[in-house]
């Protein structure tokens, strides 16, 4: 059996939990529900599920397949597979793109993720005091985001938590962490959904999220569904390729990837069923996306709820776990590369985390001392986000699809996907060669504003 020098998952469950953790992030918790409601509710969900099947799943299988075939860091994996397929090792740009993209995302993601630690701590302490932990949500959020010291403290604490897990290795670090975090994440989500069912506004939530309104479906709806499917699965940053290197040979990659896609979608839908009953119960604006919903609107509701501080603690613990499991995957690919260059794993993880954390200072200061600095009409954090999410991610996904479908030798593809029937293999190859590149190209053109 071929193995990676970095270690192996102890079981298929270990990979499944790690990959689900990579895919599930902060965006799953709030963005999916908001985008769904704005684009036709149930009609959008149907289109999104179709996008998962025809783009997300085939590209995920391709990315994990490359990782297992190469058994190295994404950079060396693609170079080695290209050499074995008698192609240019220049295709290693896919791995480099993923590494750079991961570090850029980590740099600003840990700033936002740090807020979840701050809020979680506030709600934990609030359990031991009289009155709500956050009585004026707007003022509380404003105080946090206007304090450079607080922003940097929570940012670097989250970076340190991420580095700690990656430095411990594949099995003792990453797998041990996700075995705790991902089941806990689902348990918290289910508990919050059950609470939402008792709020009296659960049926309104079901109608809001799932009642099809095909009148809202436009060309942009299709692009939004494609983009949500692609980005929510963490494709294109080579994190899943790094994780794929540690998957046992006998595991069925298509089956595991299908389970990952299902779990990722389930988290997004459960999050909507947990959040929006509270939004409707307290007459909040359901169209307040992102930080406005999570860090201001919902804490406003928590302050008026019975056991609101406990609910707040559970909710922000959920967000912290979702963010933490994602940041771990952002660091792993680069760490594996530096280990292959001769560094020890702890030193490699600290180097990458430290570099991304230092770059993240710019994102943190975008809320304070550098808030008036603007490039191309965006602040510094939004520019870093734009380069990573709108340029590198879709280009990385496009590269993975083209390399796996056209460049990788037929022999290597069959070695990894030999368990598929001839018909199923043909369908996958057709999707990854023709359909996925075309649709990812549309995502890219849309994300940079050309369509």
Domain assignments of the chain as residue spans, ordered by start: 12-447
CA distance 248 to 318: 30
- Residue-level pLDDT at 69: 97
* Reduced 3-state DSSP string for the chain: CCCCCCCCCCCHHHHHHHHHHHHCCHHHHHHHHHHHHHCCCHHHHHHHHHHHHHHHHHHHHHHHHHHHHHCCCHHHHHHHHHHHCCCCHHHHHHHHHHHHHHHHHHHHHHHHHHHHHHHHHHHHHHCCCCCCCCCCHHHHHHHHHCCHHHHHHHHHHHHHHHHHHHHCCHHHHHHHHHHHHHHHHHHHHHHHHHHHHCCCCHHHHHHHHHCCCHHHCCHHHHHHHHHHHHHHCCCCCCHHHHHHCCCCCCCCHHHHHHHHHHHHHHHHHHHHHHHHHHHHHCCCCCCCCCHHHHHHHHHHHHCCCCCHHHHHHHHHHHHHHHHHHHHHHHHHHHHHHHHHCCCCHHHHHHHHHHHHHHHHHHHHHCCCCCCCCCECCECHHHHHHHHHHHHHHHHHHHHHHHHHHHHCCHHHHHHHHCCCCHHHHHHHHHHHHHHHHHHHHHHHHHHCCCC
Strand partners, 378: 375
110 and 357 Cβ atoms separated by less than 8 Å: yes
Matching residue, tokens 């896919």? 94
227 and 51 Cβ atoms separated by less than 8 Å: no
- Residue-level pLDDT at 293: 81
- Residue-level pLDDT at 24: 92
- Residue-level pLDDT at 1: 60
- Residue-level pLDDT at 289: 60
Per-residue confidence in pLDDT tens, the chain, 451 aa? 688 999 999 999 999 999 999 999 887 887 787 788 778 788 888 999 999 999 999 999 999 999 999 999 999 999 999 999 999 999 999 999 999 999 999 999 999 999 999 999 999 999 999 889 999 999 999 999 999 999 999 999 999 999 999 999 999 999 999 999 999 999 999 999 998 898 878 999 898 888 888 888 888 888 888 988 888 898 999 899 999 999 999 999 999 999 999 999 999 899 989 988 988 888 887 766 667 788 998 999 999 988 899 999 999 999 999 999 999 999 999 999 999 999 999 999 999 999 999 999 999 999 999 999 999 899 999 999 999 999 999 999 999 999 999 999 999 999 999 889 999 999 999 999 999 999 999 999 999 888 7
- Residue-level pLDDT at 219: 86
- Residue-level pLDDT at 449: 87
- Residue-level pLDDT at 450: 86
- Residue-level pLDDT at 395: 96
CATH topology of domain 12-447: Hydantoin permease (1.10.4160)
Closest CA to 294 of 157, 408, 141: 141
| Residue 375, phi then psi, degrees to nearest 5 | -130, 130
Helix pair 137-145, 93-126: axis angle to 10 deg: 130
- Residue-level pLDDT at 38: 77
């Amino acid at each position: 059996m071929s193995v990676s020098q970095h270690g192996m998952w102890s079981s298929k469950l270990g990979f499944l939990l790690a990959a689900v953790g990579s895919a599930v992030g902060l965006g799953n918790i709030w963005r999916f529900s908001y985008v769904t409601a704005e684009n036709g509710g149930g009609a959008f969900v149907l289109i999104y599920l179709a996008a998962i099947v025809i783009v997300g799943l085939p590209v995920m299988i391709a990315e994990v397949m490359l990782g297992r075939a190469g058994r190295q860091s994404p950079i060396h994996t693609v170079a080695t597979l290209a050499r074995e397929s008698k192609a240019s090792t220049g295709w290693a740009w896919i791995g480099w793109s993923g590494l750079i993209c991961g570090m850029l995302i980590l740099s600003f993601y840990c700033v936002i993720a740090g807020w979840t630690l701050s809020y979680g701590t506030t709600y934990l302490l609030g359990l031991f005091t009289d009155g709500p932990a956050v009585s004026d949500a707007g003022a509380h959020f404003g105080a946090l985001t206007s304090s450079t010291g607080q922003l940097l403290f929570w940012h670097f604490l989250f970076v340190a938590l991420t580095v700690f897990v990656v430095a411990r290795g594949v099995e003792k670090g990453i797998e041990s962490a996700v075995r705790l975090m991902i089941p806990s994440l689902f348990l918290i989500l289910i508990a919050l959904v059950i609470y939402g069912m008792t709020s009296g506004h659960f049926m309104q939530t079901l109608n809001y999220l799932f009642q099809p309104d095909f009148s809202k479906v436009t060309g942009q709806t299709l692009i939004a569904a494609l983009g949500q499917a692609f980005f929510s699965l963490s494709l294109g940053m080579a994190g899943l390729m790094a994780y794929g290197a540690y998957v046992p040979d006998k595991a069925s990659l298509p089956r595991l990837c299908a389970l990952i896609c299902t779990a990722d979608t389930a988290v997004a839908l459960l999050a909507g069923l947990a959040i929006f009953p509270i939004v409707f119960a307290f007459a909040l604006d359901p169209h307040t996306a992102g930080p406005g919903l999570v860090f201001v609107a919902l804490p406003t509701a928590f302050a008026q709820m019975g056991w609101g501080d406990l609910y707040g603690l559970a909710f922000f613990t959920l967000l912290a776990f979702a963010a933490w499991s994602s940041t771990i995957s952002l660091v792993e690919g680069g760490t594996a590369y530096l280990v292959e260059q001769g560094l020890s794993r702890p030193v490699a993880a600290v180097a990458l985390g430290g570099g991304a954390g230092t770059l993240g200072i710019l994102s943190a200061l975008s809320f304070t001392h550098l808030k008036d600095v603007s490039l191309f009409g965006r602040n510094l954090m939004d520019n870093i986000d734009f380069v990573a999410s709108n340029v590198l991610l879709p280009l990385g996904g496009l590269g993975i699809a083209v390399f796996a479908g056209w460049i990788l030798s037929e022999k290597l593809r069959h070695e990894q996907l030999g368990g598929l029937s001839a018909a199923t293999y043909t369908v996958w190859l057709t999707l990854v060669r023709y359909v996925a590149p075309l649709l990812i190209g549309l995502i890219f053109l849309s994300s940079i504003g050309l369509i």
